[in-house]
């Protein structure tokens, strides 16, 4: 029987490079499924509904909350963001390693519900690089960039709740390290309980 997939949560300050890392991880390796979140923020140029996010109205998002369709949700700089439950459960059952790219409040709620989830926090090499990346991306107004940098300072207070830090300096090195950390989870005892039971019965029959 195929083992259940790993649930990996990836967080990090806005502009740290999470989206870029996710893209490279999925391009380089096979067994990953990236969860697509729902949000009430507007699509950026080049983003498509159902690809980067499911873009919803506040009313539609709140209905999903009421119907318990989300594993977790949070407010981030004036908008809702949340993780649809069905996709995550289905892909994990298929043995896929599922990635949630979500902010810190959501990450903590996921850990409560899925204690075996691995929590990764992506950091830029330094704060100035973060500001430059966020500005260089050119997708947000100065006001929103300021709000996101303030939010980064708040989020930095919660990093100890994570299992691992990944420094996104050299992109390829960071992707490789992320892959290694997630794949390492397959060796956890809690991930192999059936195998252990199987071995116990085989040993009794010797």
Quick one: what does residue 76 bind among ligand 5GP, ligand ADP, none, with the CB cut-off 5 to 8 Å set by partner type?
ligand 5GP
Q: What is the dihedral of CA 121, 17, 49, 9, to 10 degrees?
A: -10
Residue 137 interface partner, choices ligand 5GP, ligand ADP, none, CB cut-off 5-8 Å depending on type: ligand ADP
**Residue 167 vs 191, nearer CB to ligand 5GP:** 167
- Asked if residue 82 binds ligand 5GP (CB under 6 A), the reply is yes
Q: Please identify, using beta-carbon distances, which residue of 35 and 168 lies nearer to ligand ADP.
A: 168
Residue 103 binds to ligand 5GP (criterion: CB under 6 A): yes
82 is in an annotated binding site: no
Greatest Cα-to-Cα distance within the chain, rounded to the nearest angstrom: 70
Told to check if 166 binds ligand 5GP by CB under 6 A, we report no
In the complex with ligand ADP, the residue whose CB is nearer, 93 or 156, is 156
12 is in an annotated binding site: yes
Distance CA 164, CA 117 (A): 12
CB atoms within 10 A of CB 197: 10
Does position 14 bind ligand ADP by CB under 6 A?
yes
124 is an interface residue for ligand 5GP by CB under 6 A: no
Q: Residue 55: beta bridge partners?
A: 39
Alpha-carbon torsion 58, 60, 66, 72, what sign?
A: negative
Q: What is the DSSP string of 95-108?
A: T-EEEEE--HHHHH
In contact, 158 and 202? CB cutoff 8 Å: no
**Which H/E stretch holds residue 113?**
helix 104-113
List contacts with ligand ADP (CB under 6 A): 12, 14-20, 133, 136-137, 168, 171
List contacts with ligand 5GP (CB under 6 A): 14, 37, 41, 72, 74, 76, 81-83, 101-103, 105-106
């Amino acid at each position: 029987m195929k083992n259940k997939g790993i649930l990996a949560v990836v967080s990090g300050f806005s502009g740290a490079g999470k989206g870029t890392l996710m893209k490279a991880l999925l391009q380089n390796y096979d067994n990953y499924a990236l969860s697509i979140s729902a949000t009430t923020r507007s699509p950026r140029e080049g983003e498509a509904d159902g690809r980067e996010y499911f873009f919803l109205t506040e009313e539609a998002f709140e209905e999903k909350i009421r119907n318990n369709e989300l594993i977790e949700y949070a407010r981030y700089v004036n908008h809702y963001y949340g993780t649809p439950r069905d996709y995550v459960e289905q892909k994990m059952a298929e043995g896929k390693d599922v990635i949630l790219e979500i902010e810190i409040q959501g990450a903590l709620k996921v850990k409560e519900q899925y204690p075996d989830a691995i929590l990764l926090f992506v950091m830029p090499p330094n704060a100035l690089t973060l500001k430059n990346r966020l500005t260089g991306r050119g997708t947000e107004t100065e006001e929103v960039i300021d709000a996101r940098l303030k939010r980064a300072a708040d989020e930095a207070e919660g990093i100890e709740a994570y299992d691992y830090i990944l420094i996104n300096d050299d992109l390829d090195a960071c992707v490789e390290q992320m892959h290694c950390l997630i794949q390492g989870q397959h060796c956890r005892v809690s991930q192999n309980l059936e195998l252990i039971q199987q071995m116990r019965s085989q040993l009794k029959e010797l």
